[in-house]
Structure 1
Amino acid sequence: MHPASGQDGTGGPATVLTVLVLLAAAAGYLLAVRRARRRNPAQGWSRTRTLSFLTGTALLAVALLPPLAPAAHTDFRGHMTQHLLIGMYAPTALVLAAPVTLLLRALPPARARQVTALLHSPPARLLAHPAVVLTLSTGSLVLLYFTPLYNTAMAHPAGHGLMHAHFLASGFLFAYVVAGPDPAPARPGVRARLVCLGIAIAAHALIAQAMYGGFFVDIHAPIDQVQQGAEIMYYGGDIAELLLAAALVATWRPERRTPRATRWAEGGIGGPAGTVGPSPVR
């Protein structure tokens, strides 16, 4: 598989566009931090969160730009490294930056209430369900690597881009549900999140082992590349999931027996009436 120049991360419009998008994301976050500080100087904004967002953006740059991006098109080991960076490491860093909380602090009250309503909507609650996030982030790997889908996606630049978008979106959603510091209307309890994370760890291990052994795998690549890619997935995935478990512990706060409206106001999302309050976590 040899995509046309400029479509595989070796240079040209695709690389320039990727750089511009990543720079725009970083600049947008920094501008939101500045606005949030101006709107409420007493609260400020944690530099650790800002650093976390910039780290996540840098990890995406490593994954999507040369020298890794070109290698991912011709070497399955490069693809798997890309997969881990885009789908596991970068999302965890981005989620720990608390982008929803920042958005609510930076927006005018009317716009913040619209975001609150969106987060309370049935589709948002469905996406935050553990079964859904597991299916999107982990279950989709079975479809990708044990059917012709991977080979089809790699043969078309658009398909490769959609695969990256899926890795990032599903990874972000999984990290957001499991260990996000942002308040969420339908986030399960700590036990349910630990179970969700444990299932993901076990599923990743089984997929990597099946890939290493060549069981039902449909990947057009040399056997040694597939086996080494499986090792990258096995060990690299374990490290990423341990980091996510550590993030869950770091962001966990005991639930208090307070009225629902008060909990939402303190979390920064807003109560049922759409009010937006400060977040006690910096």
Structure 2
Amino acid sequence: MLGHHMHHSNEQLIDYFELIFMLLLFTSSVVTYLLAVKKSNRHYKKWPRKRTILWLSGVLITASVFIGPLAERAHTDFRAHMLGHLLIGMLAPLLLALSAPWTLLMRTLPVKLARQISRFLKSQPVLILSNPLTASILSVGGLWVLYTTDLYRLMQQNSILHVLIHVHVLLAGYLFTVSFIYVDPTPHRTSYVYRMIVFIMASAGHGILSKYIYTHAPTHVLKSEAESGGMLMYYGGDAIELILITLFCYQWYRASRPRILNITKPSIT
């Protein structure tokens, strides 16, 4: 009985420190971005307000998954958990990517430090990680591991593991997004055709997993919740993927338009 009470007290202490840490992390990310915008506006063309709104929205959505009512409910309700993973694995990464944080960062850093970061972004490890195929494996493949093994049950029983998996989903989702649509300067660019092929494969993998969850509930998840969660993953994922593919096609159109104009332009000689 005493051991159970001590274990419960330790869990509460971990949750308390987790809450404080997350609040500090999210607050600092907002303040840092706003200060960077202020500094950038003093030396460059005014930073687009829409990008600031996108960043604030992305941080707010991310925070709602880690702390607050949705985060609490996700511990006991698979549908809330799946909503949270859609938010931090797909929607928040898209909003954060569109806010162009790396461009803003490079504007505000000292020249020497900016050059060091630029060299790092051109390095071999970043080349491998930023490849759309690698990003897809980390993002979609990670979800397959989570929902087809005992990992989902374990994350609900361990606060630290719970946070680590959420962080992985967020970072993998961001890496997946920026490997397909280029908002910030990207040293390692791949062709539109290659990205489209990998995107179709990743989308298919995501859709198949959602159907698998619908028919094979993860450990300790009610069948009705698994069915609702699977449907949410399928249709919610499709909606966010539609936004992503629209942006991708728009970029492709803009990139190919000058070549089309050059081909069709009549010669004056």
TM-score normalised by length of structure 1: 0.83
Cross-structure match for 1:33: 37
> Hey, what's the Cα distance between the residues in 2 that align with 1:170 and 1:46?
26
Partner of 2:105: 103
Mapped to 1, the partners of 2:60 and 2:190 lie a distance apart of 30
Letter paired with 1:184: T
Please give the alpha-carbon distance, in whole angstroms, between the structure 2 residues aligned to 1:180 and 1:20.
30
Whole-angstrom distance in 2 between the partners of 1:177 and 1:60: 20
**What is the alpha-carbon distance in structure 2 between the residues aligned to residue 84 and residue 209 of structure 1?**
15
Is 1:24–2:28 an aligned residue pair? yes
Task: Determine what percentage of the aligned residue pairs are the same residue.
Answer: 37
- Which segments of 5 or more consecutive residues in structure 1 lack a partner in the other structure? 258-282
Corresponding residue for residue 82 of structure 1:
84
Larger Rg: 2
Partner residue, 1:171? 173
Deviations along 1:165-201, one digit per CA (max 9) or x if unpaired, are 1001000001111113011111212222222222222
Alignment gaps of 5+ in structure 2: 1-7, 259-269
- Specify the code of the residue in structure 2 equivalent to 1:125: L
Verify the 8 A CA contact 2:97 2:183 in the aligned structure 1: yes
* TM-score computed with the length of structure 2 as normaliser: 0.87
Decide which structure has greater helix share: 2
Cα 1:38–1:14 shift into 2, 3 Å: same
Spell out the pairing of 1:98-177 with structure 2 (5 A cutoff). 98-177=100-179
Amino acid at match of 1:24: S
**Residue 228 of structure 1 aligns to which amino acid in structure 2?**
S
- Cα–Cα, structure 1 residues 5 and 227, in superposed 2: closer, same or farther, change >3 Å? farther
Runs of 4+ in 1 over 4 A off after TM superposition: 250-253
* Aligned-residue offset at 1:39: 2.4
**Aligned position for 2:233:** 233
Which of 215, 220, 229 is 1:213 aligned to? 215
* 1:271-282 alignment, distance < 5 Å: none
Q: CA contact under 8 A between 1:153 and 1:160: conserved in structure 2?
A: yes
Matched position secondary structure for 1:178: coil
Q: Hey, what's the Cα distance between the residues in 2 that align with 1:18 and 1:250?
A: 36
Shift of 1:7: 5.2
Contact 1:98 1:180 in 2 (8 A): no
AA in 1 matched with 2:67? L
Aligned to 2:11: 4
> Residues 229 and 133 (structure 1 numbering): CA distance in 2 closer, same or farther, change over 3 Å?
same
Give the whole-Å Cα distance in 2 for the aligned partners of 1:251 and 1:140: 28
Write the letter of the residue equivalent to 1:204: H
Q: Which residue in the other structure is 1:48 paired with?
A: 50
Q: After superposing the two structures, state which structure 1 stretch, 101-110 or 217-226, moved more.
A: 217-226
